[in-house]
Every structure is written in structure tokens, then in C-alpha cells.
């Protein structure tokens, strides 16, 4: 179903909403008569009919090889609010999300997967929840329709681990999020404006927003079994996700003070090396025993050298941090609002 023209505005106008959808090989080669992408776009536009919102739908083709890109280019002719961004090759879901955020013109951004497992009909309730004063509303696939062993169990473990390490809590209840992997989320534009995404960081967007002081909550959403094709992402991403999790943890704790972590480790290492050195000196000079063949001598030297290196890492981290913030004019704080008295001084 084609949306009415009242929902479409000029490119330069500020829109109410941008819907961002990464697409990667979403056609179903086993069922050539189906149209998964057309069905998805139809459901999204149907869900926004009657809301009175001006919106755009940005579909990012992440280097598809099955003709998904061609189908998107065809659908642009039928949906004036549809914008198709074609990436040169397959960069991954995080890069596709970043491209969508970069092109989004809406005050609010909603993301969802392109496999029809998320329900576009949930978008209005996410927007309504966002209007209650939140900066990010994350979907919770409470009744998830995926394979228990290969998808549900790893997802539960990952969500628990991410919650414990990042410490992200909902603003209203103080509880941890249940579902970091759900792509169906609603953001205020300013929350994602400064985010630089890489690796597998798209699944850590709530954690990155939490670092910036965003008010976050969660809302149960529908989830369906995949109607066409098969998942393009499996357990092979686990290692990359774990490594990026440590990156997010470091950003949360030590983004503006890297010397605090490297310096502390350096002090511990140097102090331990000095204690061993004093002990070995006592053994050599007072007890008149040989220390040249003792492993403790090697350990003392390694600890002292490691401590010096850790201090150097801390200093380099401080320099990089200052370059990161100052070169971009990026402040080390975020202001939610400024409240001034309406009474003027005489």
C-alpha cells in the first residue's frame, strides 16, 4: 500500500521520523514469487498511516548479491518517502546502521531488521513511549520465535553478560535491559548524532547512549518466526561481540581518564617489582646467596619494565583522549536542558 503524499516532505525539511532498515540478501531464492522487501515496506508505511507524522524510510542495502538492491530501486518509484542507500560491498550491520543514521533527517529515529521478524505495527507504541520523556526505547522480544539452542540460549547469556559489564539500567525501573539484540528501537536524533559506530557496536547502542547520560527504557514488542530465507548472522560473530564488549566497558569507565586504569596497573607492577628487588638485594648482600639463577629476578625485571610501559600507555591514552575530544569539538559532558527564570532582574 502506498502512503499518502501528506507524509512526504522535501529533503531539506526537518521530518518527525526517520525509519532505518538495514537490508542484506532479503530475497528468498526458494520462493521467487514472493516479495519480502515490498512486504516489509508496505507494512512500515501502513503502520505510520494515520499518525500524522512526516517521515522518511531509509533502507540501506549492505552489498546484497540476490537482487535486493534492484528491488529497492524499483520500490523508490512507488514510495516517495523511501530512500535507498546502496553500499559498495557488504560492510556488516553496524556500518549499515551508521549509514542510516548519517542520512536520517528526522527528529526521531526508529530502527528495525529487514527480515520481517520485527513488527512495524509496534512503531507507534515505541514513539508514544519515547514521548514520555525517554531518549531511547528498546524493544524486548519477550516471546521470541527463534531456535532455542542456536539463538535463544546464546542470546540470553549475551544479554546477561552485556548487562553486567556495561551496567545499563532502565531509567524508570532501575532494572537491566532484557534484550540488547533487538533491532527495533526508537531514538531521539541527538542521542545517535555523535556516535561513531564500528565493529559490532550496533548491539551496544543502549550502552553507548547510557554513557552519554540518555534516559533508557524497554517495551515488549512482537516477534515472529522468519517467514523467508535464513538468517545471515550466526554464532560466528560471538568472538567479535565479546571483544567489542570490552571496548564498550573501557569507554564507559575510562573514556576521559585512561591514565586511571593504566597508571593504576603501572603502580601495581612497579611496586611489585621493587619489593622483589629489595628482597633479592637482601638475599644477595645480607644472606650472601646467589640470585642470578632465580626466576624471581627475571620476574622483578619484567614487572618493572611492564610498569614503565603501562605508564607510557596511560600518557598516550591521555593524549589520544584530548585529541579525540578537542579535534571534534566534542564536550566531555552533555546538557539535557537549561532552565532560566522568566523574571528579569531590574
How far is 293 from 22, CA to CA, in rounded Å?
Answer: 61
DSSP E strands: which ranges in the chain?
15-23, 55-61, 82-86, 106-111, 136-140, 185-188, 216-220
How far is 262 from 107, CA to CA, in rounded Å?
Answer: 40
Sign of torsion, CA 112 118 123 125? negative
Residue 194 binned pLDDT confidence (cut-offs 50, 70, 90) = confident
Are residues 56 and 16 located together in one domain of the fold? yes
Indicate if the pLDDT at residue 264 is higher than 70: yes
Residue range(s) defining the domain that contains residue 315: 259-327
Residue at which a domain ends, from 197, 232, 254: 254
Q: Is the pTM of this model over 0.85?
A: no
Indicate if the pLDDT at residue 62 is higher than 80: yes
pLDDT (0 to 100) of residue 249: 81
* Residue whose entry in the numeric block shows the C-alpha cell 543502549: 206
Cell triple for 53: 507524522
Are residues 191 and 269 located together in one domain of the fold? no
How far is 141 from 310, CA to CA, in rounded Å?
Answer: 43
Are residues 9 and 70 located together in one domain of the fold? yes
Are residues 204 and 287 located together in one domain of the fold? no
Percentage of the chain beyond pLDDT 70 is 87
Amino acid at each position: 500500500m502506498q502512503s499518502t503524499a501528506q507524509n512526504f516532505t522535501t529533503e531539506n525539511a526537518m521530518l518527525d521520523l526517520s525509519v532505518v532498515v538495514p537490508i542484506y540478501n532479503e530475497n528468498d531464492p526458494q520462493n521467487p514469487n514472493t516479495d519480502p522487501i515490498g512486504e516489509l515496506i508496505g507494512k512500515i508505511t501502513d503502520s505510520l498511516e494515520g499518525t500524522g507524522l512526516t517521515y522518511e524510510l531509509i533502507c540501506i542495502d549492505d552489498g546484497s548479491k540476490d537482487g535486493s538492491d534492484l528491488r529497492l530501486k524499483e520500490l523508490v518509484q512507488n514510495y516517495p518517502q523511501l530512500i535507498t542507500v546502496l553500499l559498495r560491498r557488504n560492510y556488516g550491520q553496524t556500518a549499515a546502521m551508521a549509514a542510516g543514521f548519517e542520512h536520517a533527517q528526522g527528529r526521531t529515529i526508529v530502527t528495525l531488521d529487514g527480515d520481517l521478524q520485527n513488527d512495524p505495527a509496534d512503531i507507534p507504541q515505541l514513539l508514544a513511549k519515547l514521548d514520555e520523556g525517554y531518549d531511547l526505547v528498546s524493544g524486548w522480544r519477550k516471546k521470541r520465535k527463534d531456535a532455542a539452542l542456536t539463538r535463544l540460549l546464546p542470546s540470553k547469556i549475551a544479554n546477561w553478560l552485556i548487562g553486567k559489564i556495561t551496567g545499563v539500567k532502565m531509567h524508570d525501573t532501575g532494572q537491566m535491559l532484557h534484550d540488547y539484540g533487538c533491532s527495533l528501537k526508537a531514538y531521539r536524533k541527538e542521542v545517535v548524532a555523535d556516535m561513531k559506530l564500528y565493529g559490532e557496536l550496533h548491539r551496544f547502542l543502549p550502552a553507548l547512549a547510557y554513557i552519554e547520560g540518555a534516559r533508557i527504557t524497554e517495551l515488549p514488542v512482537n516477534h515472529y518466526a522468519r517467514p523467508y530465507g535464513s538468517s545471515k548472522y550466526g554464532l560466528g560473530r560471538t568472538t567479535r561481540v565479546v571483544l567489542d564488549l570490552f571496548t564498550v566497558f573501557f569507554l564507559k569507565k575510562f573514556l576521559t581518564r585512561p591514565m586511571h586504569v593504566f597508571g593504576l596497573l603501572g603502580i601495581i607492577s612497579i611496586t611489585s617489582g621493587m619489593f622483589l628487588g629489595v628482597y633479592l638485594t637482601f638475599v644477595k648482600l645480607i644472606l650472601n646467596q646467589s640470585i642470578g639463577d632465580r626466576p624471581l629476578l627475571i620476574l622483578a625485571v619484567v614487572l618493572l619494565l611492564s610498569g614503565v610501559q603501562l605508564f607510557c600507555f596511560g600518557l598516550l591514552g591521555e593524549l589520544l583522549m584530548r585529541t579525540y575530544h578537542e579535534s571534534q569539538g566534542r564536550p566531555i559532558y552533555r546538557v539535557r536542558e537549561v532552565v532560566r527564570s522568566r523574571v528579569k532582574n531590574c
